[in-house]
Amino acid sequence: MYELRCIECRERYAPEEIIFTCKKCNGLLEVWMNLSEIEVKREELEKRMFGVWRYREFLPVGKKTKIITLQEGGTPLYKAENLSKELGVELYIKNEGANPTGSFKDRGMTLGVTKAIELKAKAVGCASTGNTSASLAAYAAKAGIKCFVLLPAGKIALGKLAQAILHGAVVIGIRGNFDVALKLIREASQKFNIYLLNSINPWRLEGQKTEAYEIIDQLVFEAPDRVVVPVGNCGNISAIWKGFKEFYEYGFINELPIMTGIQAEKASPVVKAFKEGKDKISPIEKPETIATAIRIGKPVNAPKALRAIRESRGYAESCTDEEIIEAQKLLARKEGIGVEPASATSIAGVIKLIDEGIIDKGERVVCITTGHALKDPEIVFSRYEKPIEIEPDIEALSSIITK
C-alpha cells in the first residue's frame, strides 16, 4: 500500500490523483510506503539483476503494471584509492553517469514514465537544465508517448541538448533561466494535460531513492558515514535520504549516513538558508555557474533538501567554478572517472569540508557523481589544455615526446 502525503500538513492523497502540491497548504508531496507490508529478504534481492527494479517491492507501482525500463541503475561504486590516500578519507564514487542516458535522472524516469502510462497520460513534459530532458526524451520514446521539453536557451550543455533532439522530444528553448522554464511548464502541464516529470513529481523521486538502496547493497548492507550530493532543484538529495531512511526502518541497516549537499557558489540558496538556520530559501534571481546542470536559483524541493540535511545532522557548502573544475580534473586524472562539472561539486565539496574540519579523517564518504563527462565536452575544450597539432614527421613528434 502506498499513497501521497503532504510533507507539511500530512494531508493524504490517493495514488490515482494527478497532483503535485497539497491542495490545503500548497506543501510538497511525498510518497508514503507501508513498509510493514513488504516481505523480502536480502538473499532474495541479491539473486535479482542489479538495478532500480531489484527493489521492486519498495517501489510504488501496481503489481500488474508494465514497467518502462532501459535497465537503469546498477551503477558502479568505485573505491577511489588514489584520492583516498591523498585526502585521508575512505572515498567512494557512486557513478551515476553510467546510467543509460548518462545521468541519475534515468532512475526517476523509469518510475515516472511508468506512472505516466499507468495514469493514462497522453504526453509528458519537463523544464530542464539538460539531463532531465535527455532522460525524459529517451523514456518517452521507449513508452511511445509525446514529449515536450523546455530548456533555458543557450545554457544547455551540448551533449544533453543533442540527446533530447536525438530521442525525438519537442525541444523548446526559453529566453530565461531554468526557474522561469519550470514555472512555464507547470502552467502548461495543467492547461494542456501534459504529465509533468520534474522532481516536483513525487513518483519520480521514488525511482531516485534507489541510489541509496544500491549504495547499501554495494557496501554489503552497511551505511557509509556520509553521502555527498550535488544540489540543484533539491530532488535528488531528498530522494536519497528517503531511500536510506526506508532501508533503516525496514531493518536492512542499523545506522544512517550524514547527508551533505553541495552547490555552486553563485547558485547556492540552500547553502545560504542552511548556514543562516532558516527553513525557507531566499531565491537567487540570476544564478550563474559553469556547472549549468545546477544553475538554479529557486529550487522547488528546497524544503525537502533542508529537512534531509538537518534530520541527518548533515551540512551544506558551496564551491567556486574554479574549485569545481579542479575537482573534475582530479577525479578524471587520479581515478579515471569522467564526470560533468555539476557532478564534480561533490568532490570539490569533500576537499573543502576536509579543510574546514567538517569531514573527519578516516570517514567513509560516498560522493554521488550525477552525470557523465561527455554531457558537456565544451567545458573541456574551454578550460583544459589544447590538443597539440604537428606535421606528420618523426622529428616534430620526437620534439614533443622528449620534451
Shortest CB 331 distance to ligand F0G, Å:
14
Nearest to 335 by CA among 95, 4, 18: 95
How many residues form the binding site for ligand F0G (CB under 6 A)?
Answer: 21
Shortest CB 321 distance to ligand F0G, Å:
15
Q: Which is nearer to ligand F0G, 103 or 189 (CB)?
A: 103
Q: Which is nearer to ligand F0G, 199 or 328 (CB)?
A: 199
Instruction: Transcribe 302-362 into DSSP letters.
Output: HHHHHHHHHHTT-EEEEE-HHHHHHHHHHHHHHS---B-HHHHHHHHHHHHHHHTTSSPTT
Kindly state the cell numbers that stand for 111.
Answer: 518510475
Shortest CB 119 distance to ligand F0G, Å:
22
CB within 8 A of 305, min separation 6: which ones? Answer: 231, 234, 237, 238, 261, 270, 299
Q: Left, alpha or beta for 277 (phi > 0: left; psi -120 to 50: alpha)?
A: left
Binding mask 352-381 for ligand F0G (x = CB under 6 A): ------------------xx----------
HSE at residue 343, side-chain half, CA atoms within 13 A, is 30
Shortest CB 202 distance to ligand F0G, Å:
13
Stretch that binds ligand F0G, among 164-172, 317-325, 335-343, 385-393 (CB under 6 A): 335-343
Shortest CB 383 distance to ligand F0G, Å:
17
Give backbone dihedrals phi and psi of 156, rounded to 5 degrees, phi first.
Answer: -110, 130
Shortest CB 46 distance to ligand F0G, Å:
28
Cα distances from 352 to residues 11, 281, 319, 326, 387, in angstroms, run 40, 23, 8, 12, 31
Angle at alpha carbon of residue 22, lines to 258 and 231, rounded to 5°: 30
Q: Which is nearer to ligand F0G, 237 or 359 (CB)?
A: 237
Residue choice 185, 294, 344, 347 for contact with ligand F0G (CB under 6 A) = 294
Contact positions with ligand F0G (CB under 6 A) in 123-182: 128-132
Shortest CB 178 distance to ligand F0G, Å:
6
Q: Which is nearer to ligand F0G, 131 or 210 (CB)?
A: 131
Cα distances from 83 to residues 220, 327, 343, 358, in angstroms, run 22, 11, 16, 18
Binding mask 185-224 for ligand F0G (x = CB under 6 A): --------------x-------------------------
Contact positions with ligand F0G (CB under 6 A) in 2-21: none
CA 213 to chain centre: 14
Stretch that binds ligand F0G, among 59-67, 228-236, 281-289, 380-388 (CB under 6 A): 228-236
Q: Which is nearer to ligand F0G, 45 or 111 (CB)?
A: 111
Contact status: 231 vs ligand F0G (CB under 6 A): yes
Contact status: 232 vs ligand F0G (CB under 6 A): yes
Q: Which helix (H) or strand (E) holds 173?
A: strand 170-174
Q: Which is nearer to ligand F0G, 128 or 289 (CB)?
A: 128
**Sign of the CA dihedral running 77, 379, 100, 127:** positive
Residue choice 75, 177, 233, 260 for contact with ligand F0G (CB under 6 A) = 233
Q: How many helices (H) and strands (E) does the chain have?
A: 15, 13
Q: Which residues pair with 368 in a beta bridge?
A: 94
Contact status: 106 vs ligand F0G (CB under 6 A): no
Stretch that binds ligand F0G, among 23-31, 58-66, 216-224, 339-347 (CB under 6 A): 339-347
Nearest to 55 by CA among 77, 27, 33, 25: 33
- Cell 558515514 locates to 225
Contact status: 268 vs ligand F0G (CB under 6 A): no
Contact status: 349 vs ligand F0G (CB under 6 A): no
Give residues in contact with ligand F0G (CB under 6 A).
Answer: 103, 128-132, 199, 230-236, 293-294, 340, 342-343, 370-371
